[in-house]
Each structure stands twice: as C-alpha cells, then as structure tokens.
Chain A
Amino acid sequence: MAESYVEHEVSHPALQHHFENLEQQREAGTLGMWVFLVTEIMFFGGMFLAYTLYRSKFPAAFAIASNHLDIKLGAINTAVLIFSSFTMAMAVYNTQVGKRRAQIISLVLTIVLGLGFLGIKAVEYYQKYEDHLIPGSLIPGNPFNPDPHEMHLTPGGSMQHVQMFYWIYFAMTGMHALHMIIGVGLLSFLLYFSVKGRYSPEYHNPVEVIGLYWHFVDIVWIFLFPLLYLLGRHTGGH
C-alpha cells in the first residue's frame, strides 16, 4: 500500500478536467458513441421485428404495397446516402491528416447530400399523400383511402394489410428521417467548429464520433431500402 500519485500531464485546451489525457478522452468518446449505437440498433430492432412478423403473415399485401413505392427515388436516395457516407469518411480522414480546407469541403458535401436525401424523401412522402396512402388518420382530414384499382389489389392482398405496410413504412422511414435531421444538425455543429479551426490531427474526436453516427444511419437505410422497396418486386413490378 505504497503512497503514490499520478501527476497531471500538461493539458491540451480541449482536454476536459476529469480526464487524465486526450487519449483517454478520445477512447471514452468513441466508446460512448458505440454504446449509443447499440441502443439505436435495438430501437430500430423493434420495428424490424414488427416488419418481419407482418411480412411473413401477409406476404401478398406487403408485396402489392411495396410495389407501389417509387423504386427510382428509393434507389437514387440509397446512392445519395452512400455517397454522403463516403464524404463523411473523407471528412474524418482530412481531419486526421490535418487538411483543413478539404475537411470543410467534405463536411459541406455531407450536409448537402443529407439534405438532398431528405428532400427526395419529402417528395416521396408527398406522392404518398396525394395517393391517400398515409395510414389511418395520421394526417387529419386525409385518411388512408387509396384507389383500389390504382393499387392493383391482386388476389391475396387486403387493403387493411396494405395499410399496415404503409404504417410500418412511415414509422421506419420517418424514424430514419428523424435521425437524418439530427445528423444534419450535428454536422452543422461540426462545420461551425471546423471553420473556427477547432479540430486538428491531435483532437478530432467529435468528427469521428459524429461520423460513426452518420454511417450508422446509412446502414439502417441499407436495410430499409431492400426490405421496403425491393422485396416483392418480382411478383410483378408495376
């Protein structure tokens, strides 16, 4: 039981008082984000479960409903999001190697692509609104009431289950979009501090951590796209 104490290092301005050094702070930040992403996975997991259950119960209705989604916009959006993930990765890279300008450009691009994704999503939502495909009375005054003929309601599908598909669709893409909006907010925050020159090769944990979040949101979409837009296409894509 010897008496020994660990002295503080000379500290970096970004070092918070309760950490010993930047390395520890970085480790904590990254670990924190990963743990948070685990909660996100479970959060979406509940919806994926509901989706899987009902698709297996009502395959025909889900195929019909899914065929009515705009596959072009969906695919474009997937590309947009993957691209934004790439620019995000580049933002981290440029910070790590200390290229300020390239770092700012990558962040701006990521934000623009993120907004682009949200814009396209909004167009899609609007189409669904026009087709009266918003389930239940989510939008008061515009209840779920698609034209059955439009829907090509084929043998084995029931309108009720089509509506259920759309509820799951809106719940999942809506939650995803919410995460995108939060992500764009976080990126703007990063951009602001990048312009002020806060991040450097020694200290860039926020860029990294927000990058992790952004990639996670991308991954969710990588699953949503085939599940919502693609499965059931082969039964007769309209």
Chain B
Amino acid sequence: MQTPWIPFIPPSASTLSGKVDALYFYLVGVTIFFTLMISGVLTFFVIKYRRRNPYEIPRPVAGSLKLETMWSVIPFIIAMTMFAWGAQVFFQQWRPPTNAVEIYVVGKQWMWKIQHTTGQREINELHVPVGRKIKLIMTTEDVIHDFFIPAFRIKADVVPGRYTTLWFEATKPGRYHLFCAEYCGTNHSGMIGSVVALEPTEFDNWLGGNSSQQSPAVAGKQMYETLGCVSCHGAAGEGGRGPALEGIFGKQVVLNNGQSINADEAYIRESIVNPQAKLVTGFGPIMPTFQGQVSEEQLLQILAFIKSLQIETSQPAGRAASPVTAPSPAPASAASPAAANR
C-alpha cells in the first residue's frame, strides 16, 4: 500500500473518501459520547445506590415528563443531523457528474470484466487516471455482485438485467483493493482485484500500451452487423423497417401506447432483449428478441455503438437534452466508432 497507514482508516484516495470519513468521525464521536455517558451514569448509580441492607425498600420515584421529552427530543435531533449529513454525502456518491469518462463493468461468477471506451479490456483490474471523473456502467451476467473500492468509499450492487452506476475521482496514485461485496457463491471471496490509480500521463501511457484492442463501439458495430440489426435499422442506424437509431440515445421516444420514455441504457437494453415490451409508435412487433444470443458484454458494446451514433449526427438539439455523454478525453480517438462508420 502506497498511502500512509492511518490507524483504523483505510487509505483515503478519492474526492469522496474524506467526506465519508468526516461523517464517520462525527458518528464515532456521538457514539463514544453516549456510550461513556450511559455507562458512566450506570456505574455511578450502581455504586452509589448499591444495596446496603437486605430489607431496604427505596421510595418509588414517579416519572418525569420533562426528562422523557428531553431524552426523546435530543436524540431525535442528533439523529436528524446524522440523517441530513448522510443523505447529503449519499447524493454526492450516487449522482454521477455529467462529464465523466465511462467505463463498462460486467460482473460474472467470479471475476470482473472491465472495458474502457477506448477498447482496453481488463480482468479484475481497473486502471484509472488520477484527477478525472470516472463513471462505471455496470451489470452482471449471472447473480448479484457488488463493486466495492474501500479506498474510494464507494460500492454498488450490480444487478442482472439492470445497469447500475458508480462514479469517483481518484486523488492519489496507488494500488487499491477491489472487492466483490455481495455474496455470489463459491468463490465470492476470490472475486477480488485491484484498482490502479495512475497519474494522468502514466495513464495515457498505459492506454497507449494497450491500444491494440477494439473499442466497444467498434465491437458493437460488428455485433450490429453480424446479428442482422442492419437489415432493419440500416447500416448507420438510419432506420428502415425498424426505427432510426441515430441520435436516439438520451432522447424521448414515443411508444405506441402514447407514453414517451427516455431512451437510456436500460431502455435500449430492453429493446434488444425484450423488444415486445415497449414498442415504438408506428412500428409493429416484428423485431425478434436477442435474449440468449448476446452476452451482457456484447450488449454493452452495442449500447456503446448506439450511443456513438449520436456523436456524429447533426442534431445537437437531441444531445443537449440528454445527460450528456461527453466524448472520452482519452487520446485514442482514432479508434472512435465514428471514424469506422464512414
């Protein structure tokens, strides 16, 4: 471990970890206060009023409404400070900033498969640059797992059939634990790895040294072709028998029941594995299901491809309305799917 060892606190290496620790220390303080107070008073009473004579019958003491109110209201107020502070930190942990670099994570009994938008794949290791906001888009192929980085004070379950997200900004270079924190079967305790936070330049080097791999969007485009999506949605997603996919990510889609829905990751995933569930207005239920034919990783790649389609579309309006997925600041733009599209 490269960070200095502070007693009883794990390395603190993200913008969030200090905030969590501060809250934690507050809670520890309150706990020590109440524990000492109660055990102190207890000890004092127990000694002072110990039984001195087997026949003594102390005088009954009536209750006191004042005291009761006091020791209901004060703990309640203290508890509310914990609640408010906790909720505030939670919001920061849970709401990804809009300009984060996306990284895809797929959990699988018992490993973590990670893919960067620039194509680099890793297993049980995650390389990230220090000082940049990273957003993980995560799912699992089988059971529930949980992506846990103690040094960053974050964790989130990955749930089959759903996408969950985590975000962080590493502050200190180093190698940190990565754990699976949701029990997932035989080798749960082996589903561990490390997060390597690198200085941005080192990180770029690392990316460069691993750039031979296809970016997920490119891989997604290939899937798109081999699975036959092209036949209905057109080679560049311009549409045909099926609706156009260009620029759809993040926009509102009108369904045949008149509702409209935000075309986010979950919606697009559902449109592929269970197309009948929500139909785009004006189209029949002709799209076959691809459940079982594509793995979660491939789904993420197709997703990346569909997302990438909007970068090149000339409809900035659509993008502005969406939770912007900014182009990755990584240098490997040569591998950008748009280029491959042309």
Q: Is the CB of B274 within 8 A of A155?
A: no
Q: Is the CB of A156 within 8 A of B278?
A: yes
User: Chain B: residues with CB nearer than 8 A to chain A?
Assistant: 256-257, 274, 276-279, 284-285, 289
Determine if A157 is an interface residue (Cβ-Cβ < 8 Å).
Answer: yes
* CA gap between A144 and B81 in the complex, in Å: 54
Q: Is the CB of B274 within 8 A of A160?
A: yes
Determine if A58 is an interface residue (Cβ-Cβ < 8 Å).
Answer: yes
* CA gap between A153 and B277 in the complex, in Å: 11
Nearest B residue to A156 via CB reads B279
User: Chain A: residues with CB nearer than 8 A to chain B?
Assistant: 58, 60-61, 153-161
Q: Is the CB of A155 within 8 A of B277?
A: no
Residues in A whose Cβ lies below 8 Å from that of B289: 158
Nearest A residue to B276 via CB reads A158
What is the CB-to-nearest-CB distance from B130 to chain A, in angstroms, rounded to a whole number?
Answer: 42
* CA gap between A154 and B274 in the complex, in Å: 14
Q: Which applies to chain A's interface (DSSP): helix, strand, loop or mixed?
A: loop
Number of CB contacts from chain A to chain B under 8 A: 27
What is the CB-to-nearest-CB distance from B44 to chain A, in angstroms, rounded to a whole number?
Answer: 35
Residues in A whose Cβ lies below 8 Å from that of B278: 156
Residues in A whose Cβ lies below 8 Å from that of B256: 155-156
* CA gap between A161 and B276 in the complex, in Å: 10
What is the CB-to-nearest-CB distance from A7 to chain B, in angstroms, rounded to a whole number?
Answer: 33
List 11 other contacts, CB 8 Å, given A156-B285, A160-B274.
A60-B257, A61-B276, A153-B285, A154-B285, A155-B256, A156-B257, A156-B277, A156-B279, A158-B274, A158-B276, A158-B277
Residues in A whose Cβ lies below 8 Å from that of B277: 58, 61, 156, 158, 161
Nearest A residue to B277 via CB reads A158
* CA gap between A165 and B195 in the complex, in Å: 44
What is the CB-to-nearest-CB distance from A34 to chain B, in angstroms, rounded to a whole number?
Answer: 33
Residues in A whose Cβ lies below 8 Å from that of B285: 153-156
Across the A-B interface, give the 5 residue pairs with the lowest CB-CB distance, nearest first.
Answer: A158-B276, A155-B285, A155-B279, A158-B277, A158-B274
* CA gap between A161 and B291 in the complex, in Å: 14
Residues in A whose Cβ lies below 8 Å from that of B276: 61, 153, 155-159
Nearest B residue to A157 via CB reads B276
Residues in A whose Cβ lies below 8 Å from that of B284: 155
Residues in B whose Cβ lies below 8 Å from that of A157: 276
What is the CB-to-nearest-CB distance from B215 to chain A, in angstroms, rounded to a whole number?
Answer: 32
What is the CB-to-nearest-CB distance from A106 to chain B, in angstroms, rounded to a whole number?
Answer: 49
What is the CB-to-nearest-CB distance from B271 to chain A, in angstroms, rounded to a whole number?
Answer: 12
For this complex, 12 residue pairs linking A to B, each with C-beta atoms less than 8 Å apart, are A58-B277, A60-B257, A61-B277, A153-B285, A154-B285, A155-B279, A156-B256, A156-B277, A158-B274, A158-B289, A160-B274, A161-B277
